[in-house]
């Protein structure tokens, strides 16, 4: 028979082992934070931007041609889940409202009620996490407030001026109009596409993937949102390892959907945003760059200063 002390001893050992096991799990889950840029860092891979990088990227401008990489966002824009766009125009300038003073001024105002993760957009660090942890291990309580993000609001993202690299995954993988939904890009394919185009990917770059999938947005909006070609886990980890500051694509969510692992949902979002502090760009308009055979360019993006937003509609610019 066990003595009372023996029972207490075994209970203590059991509790201790449970605590150690739990600690091991937590340590494994938390292995991706704090960030390599510092426990207090809030901008992630954007630390890799530099004045030298701007000057080098500016040397890519040889023609002065400007490409708008943002699409028009409106009521018919295909959007994930419940997201939508509503704009109301107020008619101060109609024939009923009296003109203003001797100068006879008339005007219009507008009111916008929209989800900010619609159309061409940037995902901030408050948008997506892993197990309720966000970039640098921030908890949901650290980030969330009904009036807007307490931390990592997109208004805090600095202007991004750097070298942009466009990888033509459609051509590299032998596609014609668009790659099929679920086509997943791993490290080898990303390396291969870059080599085929004679470009390298380096620290501070913005990388954009062309898949042709935007054609589906107008052809069949429901099919456009039902799946897409995109990054797999290995591809996301590889790009993050290079020190890129943002990864984008002409798709609505960057990830391969369906994922090669049917139990995974948007894994590249967690890898890039939460683990590595790399911003995600979605619904990038790549066709003009592809038509002109452009692989690298000066990338310019200033983000609207809407306080506390977790995503933001954008119009990045490429200049060659």
Backbone angles phi, psi at 31, to 5 degrees: -65, -20
Q: Is 122 exposed, middle or buried, given 0-12, 13-18 or 19+ CB atoms closer than 10 A?
A: buried
CA distance 320 to 318: 7
**Helix/strand/coil (H/E/C) assignment for every residue in 233-292:** HHHHHHHHHCCCCEEEECCCCCECECCCCCCCCCHHHHHHHHHCCCEEEECCCCHHHHHC
pLDDT at 7: 40
pLDDT at 91: 85
Q: Name the residue ranges covered by the structural domains of the chain.
A: 30-73+116-319
Q: Is 202 exposed, middle or buried, given 0-12, 13-18 or 19+ CB atoms closer than 10 A?
A: middle
pLDDT at 30: 57
What six digits make up the tokens of 41? Answer: 């860092």
pLDDT tens, the chain, 320 aa long: 344 444 434 434 343 333 333 333 333 455 899 999 999 999 999 999 999 999 999 999 999 999 999 999 999 999 999 999 999 998 887 788 888 899 999 898 999 999 999 999 999 999 999 999 999 999 999 999 999 999 999 999 999 999 999 999 999 999 999 999 999 999 999 999 999 999 999 999 999 999 999 999 999 999 999 999 999 999 999 999 999 999 999 999 999 999 999 999 999 999 999 999 999 999 999 999 999 999 999 999 999 999 999 999 999 999 99
Query: What three-state secondary structure class fits 313?
Result: strand
pLDDT at 121: 98
Q: Which helix (H) or strand (E) holds 37?
A: none
Omega prior to 165 cis, within 30 of 0 = no
**Alpha helices in the chain, H assignment, sequence order:** 4-29, 51-58, 140-143, 169-172, 187-197, 215-219, 221-226, 233-241, 267-269, 287-291
CA nearest neighbour of 277 among 69, 48, 25: 48
CATH T-level assignment (fold) for domain 30-73+116-319: Glucose Oxidase; domain 1 (3.50.30)
pLDDT at 20: 34
In this structure, the strands spanning 66-68 and 317-319 are antiparallel
CA distance 30 to 42: 17
CA distance 101 to 151: 46
Distant-in-sequence, close-in-space partners of 180: CB < 8 Å, separation ≥ 6:
229
pLDDT at 21: 36
Distant-in-sequence, close-in-space partners of 127: CB < 8 Å, separation ≥ 6:
117, 269, 273, 310, 311
In this structure, the strands spanning 121-123 and 184-185 are unpaired
pLDDT at 67: 98
DSSP label at residue 159: P
**Helices (H) then strands (E): counts for the chain:** 10, 13
């Amino acid at each position: 028979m066990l003595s009372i002390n023996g029972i207490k001893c075994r209970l203590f050992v059991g509790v201790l082992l449970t605590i150690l096991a739990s600690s091991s799990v937590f340590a494994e889950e938390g292995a991706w934070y704090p960030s390599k840029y510092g426990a207090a860092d809030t901008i992630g891979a954007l630390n890799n931007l530099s004045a030298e990088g701007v000057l080098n990227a500016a040397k890519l401008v040889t023609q002065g041609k400007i490409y708008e990489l943002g699409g028009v966002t409106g009521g018919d824009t295909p959007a994930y889940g419940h997201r939508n766009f509503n704009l109301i125009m107020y008619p101060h300038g109609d024939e009923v409202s009296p003109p203003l003073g001797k100068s006879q001024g008339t005007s219009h105002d507008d009111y916008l009620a929209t989800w900010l993760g619609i159309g061409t957009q940037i995902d901030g660090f408050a948008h997506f996490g892993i197990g309720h942890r966000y970039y640098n291990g921030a908890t949901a309580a650290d980030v969330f407030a009904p009036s807007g993000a307490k931390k990592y609001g997109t208004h805090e993202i600095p202007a991004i001026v750097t070298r942009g690299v466009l990888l033509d995954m459609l051509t590299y993988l032998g596609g014609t109009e668009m790659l099929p939904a679920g086509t997943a890009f791993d490290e080898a394919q990303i390396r291969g596409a870059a080599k085929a185009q004679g470009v390298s990917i380096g620290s501070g770059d913005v990388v954009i993937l062309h898949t042709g999938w935007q054609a589906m947005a107008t052809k069949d909006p429901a099919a456009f949102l039902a799946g897409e070609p995109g990054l797999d886990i290995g591809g996301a980890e590889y790009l993050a390892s290079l020190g890129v500051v943002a990864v984008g694509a002409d798709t609505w969510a960057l990830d391969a959907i369906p994922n090669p692992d049917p139990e995974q949902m948007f894994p590249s979002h967690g890898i890039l945003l939460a683990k590595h502090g790399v911003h995600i760009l979605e619904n990038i308009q790549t066709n003009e760059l592809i038509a002109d055979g452009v692989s690298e360019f000066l990338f310019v993006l200033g983000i609207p200063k809407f306080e506390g937003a977790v995503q933001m509609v954008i119009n990045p610019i490429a200049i060659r």
